[in-house]
Chain A
Amino acid sequence: AQSVTQLGSHVSVSEGALVLLRCNYSSSVPPYLFWYVQYPNQGLQLLLKYTSAATLVKGINGFEAEFKKSETSFHLTKPSAHMSDAAEYFCAVSEVNAGNMLTFGGGTRLMVKP
């Protein structure tokens, strides 16, 4: 079974600083990879997804992620953090022949300091 590990349950950055949220997956076959964001008392919103077309994926709100097969990683970055980026971020994977079933990492809460 797939598993997803997000290093760091809490990450704090200053406004304007680089955001780096880490995600590693366990699979011998590259799965489909997603990053979702969840604001308080809300559902999840898709930031970006990797589907093998390109290893560097650009998403909404200035976020991007790079798929590195050799490191089984899919880290999320944003060059300059905004206060509005404070939220919880989830990395998720899905597998071929498993429908839309998503396996999520434990989540990383991003805090942005003024």
Chain B
Amino acid sequence: KAGVTQTPRYLIKTRGQQVTLSCSPISGHRSVSWYQQTPGQGLQFLFEYFSETQRNKGNFPGRFSGRQFSNSRSEMNVSTLELGDSALYLCASSSQIIANTEAFFGQGTRLTVV
């Protein structure tokens, strides 16, 4: 069974640009969550999608957005990039949207903003 796939693995962008990251969940999983990981702030929840609907949202500015497609694949977009957006972005998929469900993480996309 294939795991969670995130593309691309590495990205370098310039301040002010926008970026789109992609996540393909494990087959059959309908929940996709996104996290930002930085040395200073640690792991922070961005948002969760289930059946194409955003179900939960973390405390991030509106520049961070996401969506989920009918095949459960998800994308997140960051507009008007800032240096502080440099981070490892992790995607996690789960089979259900119940709090005690195991989340399976992808290897992440490392975004560097210069």
Interface residues of A (CB under 8 A from B): 31-32, 36, 41-46, 49, 51, 90, 92, 94-107
Contacts and interface: CB of A to CB of B under 8 A. Distances in A.
A105 B106 CA distance: 19
B21 interface: no
Contact of A44 (B44, B50, B90): B90
A10 to B, nearest CB: 13
Contact of A100 (B33, B42, B43): B33
8 contacts: A43-B4, A43-B107, A44-B92, A46-B104, A51-B100, A94-B100, A99-B31, A101-B48
B101 A100 contact: yes
B103 interface: yes
B63 interface: no
B108 interface: yes
Interface in B48-70: 48, 50, 55-56, 58
Contact of A98 (B43, B56, B102, B106): B56
Bin chain B's interface residue count: 20 to 34
Given A100-B94, A102-B45, A32 B106 contact: no
A100 B105 contact: no
A100 B90 contact: no
Interface string B19-46: 0000000000001010100000011110
Nearest to A104: B43
B107 A42 contact: yes
A104 B100 CA distance: 14
A101 B92 CA distance: 10
